[in-house]
Amino acid sequence: MTEQRKRIVSVGEVMIEMTRGSDGRFALGCGGDTFNTAVYLARAGLDVAYATALGDDLYSDAILALAGAEGVACDLVVRMPGRLPGLYLIETDAAGERTFYYWRDHAPARELFELGEWSRLAASIMSARLVYFSGITLSIYSNQGLGRFLALLEMARQNGVKVAFDGNYRPRAWKGDIQRTRTVFMEALKRVDIALPTFDDEALLWGDPRPETTVERLQSFGIAEVAVKNGHNPALVTGGEGSEFVAVPDVVKPLDTTAAGDSFNAGYLAARLGGETPVDAALAGHRLAAEVIQHRGAITPRKNAAVH
């Protein structure tokens, strides 16, 4: 395996994050579902690059500085002069559940696969070890961008690249157009090797009554490996022989559930790429997510985010 083939490419959007603390004040950071996963994969010692587009402003500089400090490669980040990254604000209730408010309609990440530099990105994806993206990734692109991205995934898989996907369905991001969402998801699922959905999202988008239904539907697309996250409930994992529920080792009271699923995905993928079974990988995902939800914001202090 070449050095570049060892690389994971995570695709999506990273934004400026404002999180309200217990004193009512907001702390400034950054996050985005696939970016969060990239950071936690890098902390696990994996070679990870993040693919997105940013502006040429001070906040975009700060995002790149954080990524660099975390060991996430930024050579697949396109800079767009005069543009600004998206912004989101998190309000958290007493149970640690979040409400998000977004300002992102003109974020440069939306145009990633319509820029002249997209061919350079395509070459890196074609030679990756694994490509990771989400339903949020899909929601930001135009039909032209989606067409290029999905075609690229198809070619990459033919070239031996593995593809991992978290549905991460957010109705507002799709402007309530559930039919278009399902159509795009179905096209994406034809190009996926590892699915990492959250049951609540699948129930909302597809009407799944139970995690087993989610697994069966995803398997119908030819996806052999599925790990269905379900909050503090056991995850349902399938891969190899049969399916198995994997309980959360230690249920903790969350301070902030931001990036719970993103960090589970990182723990799971890091373990799988390290040769562990899907069940052991789910346990690793549970443990990392339990660490992350005890801190505010998407990216925890480094000392608290080790993958076990």
Task: List pLDDT tens digits, range 11-56.
Answer: 999 999 888 877 888 888 899 999 999 999 999 999 999 999 999 9
What are the pLDDT digits (tens) for 146-175?
999 999 999 999 999 999 999 999 999 999
Alpha-carbon distance 93 to 71, whole Å?
32
* Mean pLDDT, all residues of the chain: 92
pLDDT band at 4 (very low <50, low <70, confident <90, very high): very low
Q: Where are the domains of the chain?
A: 4-304
Q: Which residues contact 275 (CB under 8 A, 6 or more apart)?
A: none
Provide the pLDDT for residue 36: 96
Give the CATH number of domain 4-304. Answer: 3.40.1190.20
pLDDT band at 2 (very low <50, low <70, confident <90, very high): very low
Provide the pLDDT for residue 96: 66
Nearest alpha-carbon partner for 52 in 29, 8, 85? 85
What are the pLDDT digits (tens) for 81-109?
999 999 989 887 777 677 888 899 999 99
The mean pLDDT value for 270-281 works out to 96
Provide the pairing of β-strand 98-103 with 87-92.
Answer: antiparallel
Residue whose pair of structure tokens reads 């998190």 in the numeric block = 90
Alpha-carbon distance 289 to 231, whole Å?
10
Alpha-carbon distance 267 to 43, whole Å?
10
Catalytic residue ranges = 262
Q: If DSSP states are collapsed to H, E and C, what string results for 208-271?
A: CCCHHHHHHHHHCCCCCEEEEECCCCCEEEECCCCEEEECCCCCCCCCCCCCHHHHHHHHHHHH
Token pair for residue 291? 């660490």
Alpha-carbon distance 262 to 292, whole Å?
10
Provide the pLDDT for residue 261: 96
